[in-house]
Amino acid sequence: MLYRRKFLKRAGYTTLSTLLAMGFLDKDNQKEAHSMNVAMASTNVNSPLRQLAAAKGKLYGSGGIAASDLQANAKYSALVAAQCGIITPNGELKWNATEPQPGVFTFKDADYIANFCQQNNMKLHGHTLLWGQALPSYIPTFPPTMQQLKRHITGVMGHYKNSPVLISWDITNEIIAANPNATRDQVYGLLPGLTPEYILELFKFAASVDSSKLFYLNESSMEGDSWRADRWLALIEYLKNNGAKVDGAGIESHIWFSTAYGFDAKGFSSVLKRLNDLEVKPIISELDIIIDFPLPSTIQKLDQMVADGYKRYLDLCFAADVDTVLTWGMTDKYSWILNPSYMPSKFQANLSARKFLRPLPYNKYLQAKLARNAIAQAFQQAT
């Protein structure tokens, strides 16, 4: 995620993904938003999100869960346990955390999260086996050799092969280049150094170690019709056609929108359909929402815009049979967007605007926001 975060900080995020807005530009949509607000008032806020999701055969959870935060904040850990049916660790399962020295593995923090899941009847999503921004220092260039990769996969997947909670792996994370100028591969758009054959061998080797888990490719900026989405889908089709086990595709969904630009609903629906046609299950793996400039006049209006954004986005997802949704965090208190190291430049430069960064279902005091109610309503209305 560091590559993406550095890019976002420079570019203000808006060029990385299809720019999103959920329909705040005309009177009909304003009336619809009012109706949605009335409906949300009747939402059973006391029902855990995991329960609302499970009632429709779906999973709700949170990514970006750090063992240190669970250990340090009892109220936070209780909130995660109550609301989430599945979680993704923040960095505890990445290469630089699990194999800090060649062939030397450590799983203390990752095992803490796995045990937390087991104690609270939750599932665990493994994130991630290959990501260019989480390599240890003894691998100075990307990609690692296949020998290094196979040793790492054997150690990490082997450790969790019999886990009662870990159900899936991001085999790859963010391997598609940002644009055509950032790759020598115009067919699949892979980052420099990667080849489709390398990715195919990776997936096949992972299956030889443990084929009982679900295998995903996780990728950013797939929320609409784009050069990157076309290349990613072509890669997935190549892997499937050549015998790789590919069960799902993680659409990160770090979403920005404002009153000034629109949401490519048609393009996003097309991406979801193409994945389903390939028999590759789309999941929403890292959802959060930021309102871009021009900002609304009040926090209350911003929270309503964020809530409406969640509802409209999830409605599209559920219409395409998406059954797993993870927000990237539960509370603004631990949101990566509010970390000064990763905060987008336009908010870094405007101190008064930072209070409008409220991307998650719960505020920094762990209190539910309208966004939480909107997610609840989306699950309740899913078919």
Triad 335, 340, 341: Cα angle to 5°: 100
pLDDT in tens, 336-366: 999 999 999 999 999 999 999 999 999 999 9
- Provide the strand spans (E) within the chain: 59-65, 86-89, 123-130, 166-173, 214-219, 248-251, 254-257, 281-291, 324-327
β-pair partners for 219: 251
Q: In the structure, what pLDDT confidence band is assigned to residue 262 with cuts at 50, 70 and 90?
A: low
pLDDT in tens, 158-208: 999 999 999 999 999 999 999 999 999 999 999 999 999 999 999 999 999
CATH code for position 50: 3.20.20.80
Domain that holds residue 35: 2-381
Provide the number of structural domains found in the chain: 1
Task: Please check the confidence at residue 134 and state whether its pLDDT lies above 50.
Answer: yes
pLDDT in tens, 294-321: 999 999 999 999 999 999 999 999 999 9
pLDDT confidence of residue 43? 43
Q: What mean pLDDT do residues 266-290 have? A: 97
pLDDT in tens, 140-165: 999 999 999 999 999 999 999 999 99
Tokens of 98: 């699990």
pTM of the model: 0.90
